[in-house]
Structure 1
């Protein structure tokens, strides 16, 4: 399994809620239709400031994770409307290959 990882800073609680709703309604719904997609999350840093967040998506393999490729394989895809919304964001995504899983991620 491949984990695609991207970080951003929402700034205010209102922006965090707006962005989370957008991900749930649009981006995550679109990803769910792609072959090899296994799930996605948005999480906010506990005890952090400015609503630091990480968006992760889970993919069956690296080829499936490449559905978002528009430039280099590790370029983040951040729409202009999202760029205006967020305080800051990474320009690159990171990919991690899982070695061992447990719990709900271990289900076949």
Structure 2
């Protein structure tokens, strides 16, 4: 399994909620329809007024994880409307190959 990892910062709880709603309504539904997609999540860590967020998506193989590729394989795909919303964001995504899993990731 491949984990696709991307980080950003929302400058407020309001922006975080707007972004979370956007992911839930559009991006995560689009990903769910793609072959070999295994799931996705948005995680957050509040640091003062900033909300650090991590978006992860799970894929069965590296080739499938590149569905969002528009430039280089590790270029982040961040729509202009999302760029305006967020305080900062990574320009690149990271890919990790899963070696050992447990729980729901293992299918238990």
RMSD value, Cα: 1.0
- 1:48 to partner: Cα distance: 2.6
Aligned partners of 1:44, 1:82: CA distance in 2, in Å?
Answer: 17
Corresponding position of 1:22? 22
- 1:12 to partner: Cα distance: 0.4
Aligned partners of 1:59, 1:48: CA distance in 2, in Å?
Answer: 30
How many residue pairs get matched?
A: 107
Q: Report SS of the residue matched to 1:52.
A: strand
Q: TM-score scaled by structure 2?
A: 0.96
More strand by share: 2
- Structure 1 ranges of 4+ moved more than 3 A: none
Q: Report SS of the residue matched to 1:41.
A: strand
Q: TM-score scaled by structure 1?
A: 0.96
